[in-house]
Structure 1
Amino acid sequence: MSLNTQVPAPRAGRPTPPDAGVIAPSHGYARAAFGRRTTPRVMWHRPYILWLLVLDLLAALAASQTAVALLDKADAGFQDPAAPGGVDGIFVLVANLGIPLGWVLILAACGAYDRRALGTGTEELKRVLRADIAMAATVSLLALGFKKDLSRLTVLLVVTAALVYTLVGRFLARLVLHHLRRSGSHASQKILLVGKLSDALALYDVVTRNKAAGLCPIAIHLPQHPRPGETVTAPVPVYVGWELVPLVQEIGADTIAVCGPASLESYELRKLAWQLEGTGLDLVVVPQVTDVTGPRIHVRPVDGMPLLTVEEPTLSGLSLVTKSALDRLTALVGLILLSPLLLGIAAAIKFTDPGPVMFRQRRIGYQGKAFKVWKFRTMYTDAEQRLAALQDQNESDGLLFKMKDDPRVTPIGKHLRALSLDELPQLINVLVGQMSLVGPRPLPTEDDDYQGDVRRRLLVRPGITGLWQVSGRSDLTWDDAVRLDLHYVDNWSLTYDIGILWRTASVVLARRGAY
């Protein structure tokens, strides 16, 4: 990215910074922060959580009413309302009050309202699923404990409806939150990046590329002064020589992110954590081991010292067999259900442009094996012959050719690409085992082009969608695309795949990076 130096003007009474682009502390600011001014707190989540509480209560109430309506129609699962003891009244009270309140309490116990999980689709999904399982177990145990003859169909309908309605409500809430964050509202954490300039800029690029994550870097603090004559260039103000807590107070940040292993000594990091107690500030530490997440990372304490254990990636075993079986089953069902749409797209292509409906191209897949990928044709039939004349207009910095306004794309092809409908025939590749629903994109290159780290992409089957596609698609640089693909290979899981499929829908509907 192109960076411009931003040097804030010194405030009244503050000496001019001695280094170009770097702000040194004025007298009296390089001090401890105990008992000083009030530190900014992370507050954006409070109104958001209140809205989630309302949505979750409504979702549970709607789930109860759905179960009642369905069971009434089936004439099952209820006792006679005229029976003695007021059973019907008790049931209505439980359905309209007990279940909603219990659902919210279980969601809270499972961390579904934890600020660090809000706005993160995959993490929210896992916590809501965990709460739904706990809800089913709780209702069953209560029925057993109070010796109530509760229909299993009733429990199934309530927990299933609660899960569906809650996920839909949270999905809509998350869309609103992401829109607010992209529009520059206050629904984000303001971060002070602490560390070497290269490490801080690397984290800056990552968090600003995905504004929906809710992390907004506003300044950088260097651990030491630049060398004489060294130019400091950054997109945000750069500070040096400050005490971190007073600096956070000065710039109005609410989070300190320590970037890289050489940013702070261990005793300095511990001291900083002590200073942040009771301030409401968040402390984020970027580990030296990057692009490794999820179940591969474990913390093992030994005599008070936390040891970070990184397990090797799982590239074989039962999980991969399960993934392959689910891929093929989903592809078969998808081809059957989508057959009217596929026939309609094929007819539209045939009637609007002469030539074949399908486009098949050689791609490199699992373990370097070549295969022919199926796609709807979105370009004119002479596209390959016209490619050489357009090479100087290539907007990609990697192995692919990309143009936002490629003249070889047909009018209907532009719409198919925008909604990724041209990729649907790849369900055939998934069905025969050449591709997966989720994985790195298969590229139109030769096996010899995959050298070095890039070759790790071939350790799993390529996918119709993947981390690359939901993180920017064609707007990403080649290095970013490779990094995301390798991250997926090293950290894949069935839960991760479900999260990527969930995000794919919103990315496709928003038409981001599709050309």
Structure 2
Amino acid sequence: MQTQRQRQRAVRARARAQRTRTRTRTWQWERRRERPSTKRVLDLALGSALLALAAPLLAAGALALAVRRPPGGVLTRSPRVGLDGRVFELRSLRTRRLRLDLLSRLPHVVRGDLSLVGPEPLAPDEEDGPRTPGSGTSPAARHWRHELKPGLIGLAQVHSRSGMPWDEPALLDQHYAEHQWVGLDLAILARAAHTPLRRAARRLTRPGKGHLSDTDHRLSGYSTAEEVGSVSTD
């Protein structure tokens, strides 16, 4: 038969084994949680590449603003609510020219405050605003907003507004939250890049009036005298 001391040793040994198993499970769970998701890998890789490409333009914009000495400095600073309700300071260049204000937020993407694609980052007082249906500030809206990072751009920013109720930014952001996946992120990024490129291409290819000759579209036998006579009889 086991003595009292042996039983105590056995109890302590089982307790140590249980604590070891618990620590192992906790460590494994934390490792899985810390493992970067596909979305985070995309944010880090593409965000870093875009930041490297935009760095000279951002530096030139910051220098131009510094020369002008705008009130408040070169950067705007405002609190925004991020993942899990954490508040961070959003910094942007104090200009919208060439969308430099948007590009200047890329460091937040690399750091992990923002994602490339996500709902609009709200200020704390916007989250605590009127709790009306579809406003994006109801308790249910705050719940899904806290479960994902706000984005540099989002479905609401690239969607063409048609004036219909389902085009409200809050509803579009909620739709993204409910259906988000990497494919949707890539589609939104492609649309965000396509729109300015298409506008630039139209400006380059659209012929100006000065490049057209007065006789380009006249029928054969048409004379200037006939045009003058028709104008004078009117």
Q: Same fold (TM over 0.5)?
A: yes
1:457 matches 2:145: yes
Q: TM-score, normalising length from structure 1?
A: 0.28
Report what 1:432 is aligned to.
Answer: 111
Q: Deviations over 1:375-407 (max 9, x none)?
A: 1113xxxxxxxxxxxxxxxxxxxxxxxxxxxxx
Equivalent of 2:63 in 337, 347, 351: 347
CA distance in 1, matches of 2:156, 2:58: 25
Q: How many residues align?
A: 157
Pair 346,501 (structure 1): closer, same or farther in 2 beyond 3 Å:
same
CA–CA separation in structure 2 for the residues paired with 1:483 and 1:319: 31
Task: Please report how far the alpha carbon of residue 318 of structure 1 lies from its aligned counterpart in structure 2 after TM superposition.
Answer: 10
Q: 2:128 aligns with which of 420, 439, 448?
A: 448
Secondary structure of the residue aligned to 2:124 is: coil
Q: CA deviation at 1:342?
A: 0.8
Whether the 8 Å CA contact 2:80–2:89 is kept in 1: the answer is: yes
The one-letter code sitting in structure 2 at the alignment partner of 1:506 is: H
| Matches of 1:339 and 1:489, distance apart in 2 | 31
**Which letter does structure 2 place at the counterpart of 1:365?**
G
Q: Which runs of 4+ in 1 moved over 6 A?
A: 316-320, 475-479
Q: In the alignment, is the contact (CA less than 8 A) between 2:166 and 2:172 conserved in 1?
A: no
Q: Which runs of 5+ in 1 are unaligned?
A: 1-315, 379-412
Q: Distance in 1 between matches of 2:64 and 2:155?
A: 31
> Root-mean-square deviation (CA), in Å?
2.9
Match of 2:184 among 496, 499, 515: 496
| Among 370, 375, 378, the residue aligned to 2:92 | 375
More helix by share: 2
TM-score (norm 2): 0.59
Following the alignment from structure 2 to structure 1, what is the Cα–Cα distance between the partners of residues 167 and 160? 13
- Structure 1's 364 and 476: CA in aligned 2 closer, same or farther, altered over 3 A? farther
Cα distance between partner residues in 2 of 1:476 and 1:353: 42
Shift of 1:344: 1.0
Instruction: Report the equivalent of 1:325.
Output: 41
The residue type paired with residue 118 of structure 2 is: G
319 and 485 in structure 1: CA distance in 2 versus 1, 3 angstrom threshold: farther
Task: Name the CA distance, whole Å, in 2 between partners of 1:436 and 1:330.
Answer: 11
Indicate which of 89, 95, 102 corresponds to 1:423: 102
Partner of 2:23 in structure 1?
A: none
Deviation for aligned residue 1:478: 10
Unpaired segments ≥5 residues, structure 2: 1-31, 130-136, 201-234
Quick one: distance in 1 between partners of 2:140 and 2:150?
16
User: Percent same amino acid among aligned pairs?
Assistant: 36
Counterparts in 2 of 1:472 and 1:374: CA distance versus 1, 3 Å = farther
Q: Is the 8 A contact 1:361 1:373 kept in 2?
A: yes
Task: Letter of the 2:185 partner, please give it.
Answer: D
Shift of 1:420: 2.4
Q: Distance in 1 between matches of 2:35 and 2:174?
A: 19
**1:92-150 deviations in whole A, cap 9, x for unaligned?**
xxxxxxxxxxxxxxxxxxxxxxxxxxxxxxxxxxxxxxxxxxxxxxxxxxxxxxxxxxx
Tell me if the contact between 1:363 and 1:442 (Cα under 8 Å) persists in the aligned partners: yes
Displacement after TM superposition at 1:349 (Å): 1.8
Partner of 1:31 in structure 2?
none
Amino acid paired to 2:80: R
**TM superposition shift of 1:505:** 1.5
